[in-house]
């Protein structure tokens, strides 16, 4: 019964989202107030029915109803309850259900917080979101039904993929999906403004908190995925330039460009068309990511089970939604009034450079990701594009961006005084260089220009942030000075510092990290980076749905005990392949990392030892960046019901 209930709920959600699209779009076009007022009701209906379908699948998993194919493929009687709950997004079909539900949540939020906006604008936007939702639900129902029955019913399920039985996997997909789907709101607002030709600045102000909110989720989602790959896949890498990772990184780059470009459009009315285009592109790349991951056009280490009909559907959806939006853009954008002009030396210029570098970086990643597909489609052979390409194009693009990141916030709108900026910033620049050079020398000596550039620029990103608070404190005292900084400025400063923290982490771990593959028998030891790893033997451990061989390691440094570590070689009973369960000893300044490899015979094991200096800074930086975004969203200007105050809000930002 549960499966049928979920199935019916999903179909009803489809109908309701179509109603939402109709009432929103047609209501606004024909000026029918009663239709427009029906939109929030339809949104509630969509939330209700997608939630119901989601709960139906959850219940089926909790009950281990193996008559449902999805449950039989992704659960097992021994699977712990928490992973049965998260198995909903453990494979393609169920993750789409989560996707649909989160989409309805965003729509509900957009409806709730847009009450003070003009009704036709909101109705159109929510109507567009309705079309998008309908597309996703239709995709689920037609190509990927999670409620399909299985006959005959198997006695036991195949268990959730072991690499997904992990705490980070509990939150990584929902966070990432929230990020992708959140981008639908700037998209819908942009398209709605193209239809209604709303004035430049109001549209941008309404969109900013949504773009930032989606960006926060995307940042955290990607960071979680990277963290998960780091300790779960057993290679100790935190970024692989894999197509699936790139699929999430491209929308992030464009969303980052978008939140900066929105600032210009809101404050100065400039870049209007460019901002609209970014809003459309960010969401387009999110859908493109779904296409790349779920259609099987590219080879990836962690793609979903694929099926060409799914690819065809997403491609049609992409053509319809994004193609429609871009056609609308081609038609309406020429009619938009031009924005304000600005001088070469101005904050606009810095933000333009920011956009330029981010968009070029996104295009380079897109090109690298799709290049194998292009060549194959043209019959020019099979190749793969790996990290060397991406590092070679991406890193040089990011270094100048970091220089500008420190300067941009101190340039005035329209026309900046170069001398004033130099005067304010030179002490911080000097401090960054001193810190970067001494820090690099202390860490590892003469290590090359790239790590030096990375650490100096990372320090620059962090130190330059201090210029604003320091200035304010000097002018107005500690209390008034710091209190006078608006939250949006705080948010920006914190986020920029987060970038610096991340960059330092990346530079240091890339250059100073040590990795050794060794062959050890009990009693043997091996030293890396001053740490002595002593292998003391193995013991057997049994979990709820797995058995494992656990290595016993004693780690010492200069003769003093540091820690004991217990990596495992784990076999999930329902699946044949063993899985390395890494053990970590994490510290802010370094991680120690052990992964058990194959048994080599005669008591010898293949063991991978790693020393990862400052690797935590990468994810810490991402968390700080997200925190900055959160602070910016909480700025008074975006508060509910602040429609009047908003116009005479903060002068700066």
C-beta closer to other proteins: residue 299 or 430: 299
In contact, 527 and 554? CB cutoff 8 Å: no
Burial of 648 (0-12, 13-18, 19+ CB in 10 A): exposed
Least Å from the CB of residue 97 to other proteins: 24
Determine which residue in the list 2, 219, 295, 354 makes contact with other proteins, applying CB under 8 A.
295
CB of 64 to other proteins, least distance (A): 21
CB neighbours of 34 closer than 8 A, spacing ≥ 6? 27
Q: Which of 297, 416, 467, 580 binds other proteins (CB under 8 A)?
A: 297
Window 379-408: residues binding other proteins (CB under 8 A): 382
What CA–CA distance (Å, rounded) separates 520 from 522? 7
Q: Which stretch binds other proteins (CB under 8 A): 3-11, 294-302, 440-448, 614-622?
A: 294-302
Instruction: For residues 332 and 188, give the distance between their C-alpha atoms in angstroms, rounded to a whole number.
Output: 15
- Token pair of 511 as six digits: 């250059």
Dist CA 278 CA 214 (whole Å): 14
Can you tell me the distance from the alpha carbon of 136 to that of 18, in angstroms, rounded to the nearest whole number?
A: 11
Closest to 40 measured CA to CA, from 140, 138, 107 = 107
The answer to whether the CB of 535 falls within 8 A of the CB of 550 is no
**Shortest Å, Cβ 331 to other proteins:** 8
Coarse DSSP helix, strand, coil percentages of the chain, rounded to the nearest 5 percent: 65, 10, 20
Does position 356 interact with other proteins (CB under 8 A)? The reply is no
- Report yes or no: 452 and 617 within 8 Å, Cβ to Cβ: no
Q: Which is nearer to other proteins, 109 or 333 (CB)?
A: 333
Residues in contact with other proteins, total (CB under 8 A)? 35
Q: Which position among 372, 409, 500, 551 is part of the footprint of other proteins (CB under 8 A)? A: 372
CA pair distance 163, 199, nearest whole angstrom: 49
User: Nearest approach, Cβ of 323 to other proteins (angstroms)?
Assistant: 6
User: Is residue 576 close enough to count as binding other proteins by CB under 8 A?
Assistant: yes
CA-to-CA distance for 569 and 571, rounded, in angstroms?
Answer: 7
The nearer residue to other proteins, 144 or 346, going by C-beta atoms, is 144
Pattern 308-347, other proteins, x by CB under 8 A: x--xx--x--xx--xx--xx-xx--xx-------------
Angle at 105 between CA 104 and CA 107, to 5 degrees: 65
Q: Which is nearer to other proteins, 66 or 638 (CB)?
A: 66
CB of 106 to other proteins, least distance (A): 24
Which residue, 195 or 511, is less far from other proteins as judged by CB? 195
Q: How far, in Å, are 16, 50, 152 from residue 44 at the CA level?
A: 9, 10, 38
Of the pair 299, 640, the CB lying nearest other proteins is at 299
CA separation for the pair 323, 306 (Å, rounded): 24
Q: Are 603 and 459 spatial neighbours (Cβ–Cβ below 8 Å)?
A: no
The yes or no reply on residue 281 touching other proteins (CB under 8 A) is yes
Q: Which is nearer to other proteins, 77 or 309 (CB)?
A: 309
> Does residue number 370 form part of the binding site for other proteins (CB under 8 A)?
yes
Radius of gyration of the chain (CA): 26
User: Does position 291 bind other proteins by CB under 8 A?
Assistant: yes
Residues 6+ away with beta carbon under 8 Å from 331: none
* Residues composing the chain: 653
- Is residue 376 near other proteins by the rule CB under 8 A? yes
Q: Is 622 in the site for other proteins (CB under 8 A)?
A: no
Give the nearer residue to other proteins in terms of CB position, either 296 or 340: 296
Binding span for other proteins by CB under 8 A among 105-113, 275-283, 477-485, 635-643: 275-283
Is 155 a binder of other proteins (CB under 8 A)?
no
The answer to whether the beta carbons of residues 414 and 346 sit under 8 Å apart is yes
Q: How far is CA 533 from the centre of its chain?
A: 36
Q: Of these, 34, 540, 561, 577, which contacts other proteins (CB under 8 A)?
A: 577
**Based on CB atoms, which residue is closest to other proteins, 233 or 318?**
318
Question: Distance between CA atoms of 217 and 185, rounded to whole angstroms?
Answer: 14
Q: Closest separation between CB of residue 295 and other proteins, Å? A: 6
Q: Which helix (H) or strand (E) holds 600?
A: strand 590-601
Pick between residue 86 and residue 193 the one whose CB is nearest to other proteins: 193
Give the shortest CB-204-to-other proteins separation in angstroms: 19
d(CA 324, CA 128): 11
Tell me the C-alpha distance between 19 and 41, whole Å: 10
Cβ at position 328, least distance to other proteins in Å = 9
Segment near other proteins (CB under 8 A); pick from 35-43, 50-58, 370-378, 640-648: 370-378
Q: Which is nearer to other proteins, 15 or 233 (CB)?
A: 233
Residue 277: CB minimum distance to other proteins, A: 6
Q: What six digits make up the tokens of 452? A: 């030096």
Least CB distance to other proteins at residue 330 (A): 5
Q: Are 516 and 608 spatial neighbours (Cβ–Cβ below 8 Å)? A: yes
How near is the Cβ of 298 to other proteins at its closest, in Å?
6
CA dist 565 and 584 (Å) reads: 7
- Least distance from C-beta 322 to other proteins, angstroms? 6
- Among positions 105-144, residues that touch other proteins (CB under 8 A) are none
Binding site for other proteins (CB under 8 A): 273, 277, 280-281, 284, 288, 291, 295-299, 308, 311-312, 315, 318-319, 322-323, 326-327, 329-330, 333-334, 370, 372-374, 376-377, 382, 576-577
């Amino acid at each position: 019964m549960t499966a049928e209930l979920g199935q019916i709920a999903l179909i009803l959600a489809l109908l309701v989202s179509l109603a939402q699209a109709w009432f929103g779009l047609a209501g606004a076009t024909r000026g029918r107030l009663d239709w427009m007022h029906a939109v929030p009701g339809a949104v509630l209906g969509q939330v209700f029915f997608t939630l119901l379908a989601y709960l139906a699948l959850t219940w089926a998993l909790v009950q281990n109803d193996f008559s449902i194919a999805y449950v039989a493929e992704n659960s097992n009687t021994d699977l712990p309850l928490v992973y049965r709950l998260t198995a909903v997004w453990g494979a393609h079909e169920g993750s789409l259900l989560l996707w649909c539900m989160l989409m309805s949540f965003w729509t509900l939020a957009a409806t709730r917080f847009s009450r003070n906006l003009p009704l036709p604008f909101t109705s159109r936007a929510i109507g567009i979101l309705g079309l998008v939702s309908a597309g996703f639900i239709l995709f689920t129902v037609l190509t990927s039904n999670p409620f399909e029955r299985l006959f005959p019913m198997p006695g036991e399920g195949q268990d959730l993929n072991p690499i997904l039985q992990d705490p980070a996997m509990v939150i990584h997909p929902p966070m990432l999906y929230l990020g992708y789907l959140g981008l639908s709101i700037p998209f819908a607002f942009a398209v709605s403004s193209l239809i209604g030709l709303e004035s430049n600045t109001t549209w941008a102000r309404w969109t900013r908190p949504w773009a930032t909110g989606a960006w926060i989720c995307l940042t955290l989602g990607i960071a979680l995925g990277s963290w998960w790959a780091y300790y779960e896949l057993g290679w100790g890498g935190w970024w692989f330039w894999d197509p699936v990772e790139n699929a999430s990184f491209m929308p992030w780059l464009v969303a980052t460009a978008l939140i900066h470009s929105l600032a210009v459009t809101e404050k100065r009315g400039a870049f209007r068309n460019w901002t609209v285009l970014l809003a459309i592109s960010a969401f387009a790349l999110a859908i493109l990511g779904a296409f790349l991951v779920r259609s099987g056009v590219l080879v990836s280490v962690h793609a979903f089970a694929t099926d060409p009909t799914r690819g065809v559907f997403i491609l049609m959806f992409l053509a319809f939604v994004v193609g429609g939006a871009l056609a609308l853009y081609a038609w309406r954008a020429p009619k938009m009034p031009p924005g304000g002009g600005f001088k070469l030396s101005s904050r606009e210029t810095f933000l333009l450079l920011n956009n330029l570098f981010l968009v070029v970086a996104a295009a380079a990643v897109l090109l690298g990701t799709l290049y194998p597909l292009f060549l194959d489609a043209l019959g020019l052979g099979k190749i793969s594009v790996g990290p060397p390409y991406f590092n070679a194009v991406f890193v040089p693009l990011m270094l100048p961006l970091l220089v500008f990141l420190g300067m941009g916030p101190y340039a005035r709108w329209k026309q900046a005084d170069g001398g004033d900026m130099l005067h304010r910033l030179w002490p911080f620049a000097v401090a960054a260089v001193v810190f970067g050079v001494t820090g690099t020398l202390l860490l590892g000596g003469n290590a090359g220009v790239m790590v030096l550039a990375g650490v100096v620029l990372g320090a620059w990103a962090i130190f330059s942030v201090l210029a604003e608070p320091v200035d304010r404190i000097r002018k107005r005292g500690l209390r008034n000075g710091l209190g006078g900084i608006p939250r949006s400025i705080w948010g920006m400063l914190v986020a920029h510092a987060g970038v610096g923290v991340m960059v330092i982490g990346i530079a240091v771990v890339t250059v100073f990290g040590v990795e050794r593959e060794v062959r050890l028998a009990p009693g043997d030891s091996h030293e890396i980076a001053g740490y002595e790893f002593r292998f003391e033997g193995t013991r057997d451990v049994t979990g709820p749905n797995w058995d494992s061989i656990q290595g016993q390691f004693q780690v010492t440094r200069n003769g003093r005990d540091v820690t004991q570590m217990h990596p495992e070689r784990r076999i999930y009973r329902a699946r044949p392949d063993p899985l390395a369960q890494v053990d970590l000893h994490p510290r802010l300044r370094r991680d120690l990392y052990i992964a058990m490899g194959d048994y080599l015979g005669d008591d010898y094991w293949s063991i991978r030892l790693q020393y990862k200096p400052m690797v935590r800074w990468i994810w810490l930086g991402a968390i700080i960046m997200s925190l900055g975004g959160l602070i910016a969203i909480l700025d008074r200007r975006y508060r509910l019901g602040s429609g009047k105050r908003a116009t005479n809000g903060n002068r700066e930002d």
